[in-house]
Structure 1
């Protein structure tokens, strides 16, 4: 058997019934794209935990494309779409870094269009002066934030005063408030990919309830409350697909998340 031409870590997403929603699955996987000796392309998805080959497709050149799902707020959801049919397969990239996402997509599409295509890979370019400046600003923000949290909320050393929040995440993200979400099987499954890797596998709604009931989770929520009260998280929340204003307070953060959810979040995707 030929060695894969392109391989990348990815999980799968499945359509929710007859809707245009797709739900991410928690399993860790890898996509193997192989050019066969007869000029076709073999597309496989393998479970990295069990090593089971759960998906095995044989594709004709130029019949498929691999592209980003525009409606994904997270930005790392992709679809393998067939031009000869309405068949679509959804994947979410699982590499910790997104630095090579564009290269993966380029090389995958190169092979899908021409089985003789030879992928090229390059190391992400060193940061430019603007990127370096942004990184410096972010590092300074994190440094100041650590100083504030270390002082227990007193920010005199950083030139700030942290006021108690009018709305606290710790009042919202309680086990009682989150229980109805975990009772919805589809919603609970969508949270599984974000659980720590050392939790029971496969995770369950009961696992989620245990996590949010733990002292560690509640302490983390209180720390996030304190961090948001500094108003210094604008740069960080943008990485979550939220507006910079969401980093100004817990109330602004909650409002931004609610608005994002109202717009469909990352799960509602036009799969037609």
Structure 2
């Protein structure tokens, strides 16, 4: 696990959303949100972690939620329709993902449902870090951590919370042997027109590939290690993840960030994460880099076979 430096930490709980009634219900568990940056200065990604605190830490049913967020990918927005407490939505701009939280810092004694100045300062700092993990901190953004908790018993209207993106793990798991598909895109000159990884190697092809691997295959073992925490390392669970809307949404989010993040060098970061030679920004750079990696691996494999003859 990469080392991180904490930038901001504050108390907040999770909110459950009921789609039929369009009502959000605050969960009782006490929690904390921590925003951190990775100590690798070239990595502009933000670590956004919600974890239980107090007695809730010992409840096995309450899991830590860990999000890795690209610059400008999300916003921290107050829920204006919440009349019984102070709630915010982590809103992802590149997808429909919405995760709702309720503030557990000390409320205004005169009105526990009104956002406090501390809430607003925290929100300003969160949004600054979501824009740029290296955003400087100043007196206006500085939010000292108040003490105390609040309870919130009624729901608030909101939007559906997202599942854990697990974006870094998902993007790493995309590197499966799709040589023919990748070669086709690069050799035909179509790489510049590819907008999504699924345009080159479909979700169904990924599922078929994972299904075809024999038990004990090194690639299968590697894919198991990339499954979200708490998920059993079985082929059935792996296929469930690959078929899930969260996986598809995670790939879409990653591709959007790759296409729009060339100004901050996202392509170079992805190349380092996936272990291929950097071949430029955007989807063309990703495809050319992966294609070159696959050609190299094929050549080395063929040479090894020849040496054995």
Structure-2-length-normalised TM-score: 0.40
Query: Which structure has the higher relative contact order (CA within 8 Å, separation 6+)?
Result: 1
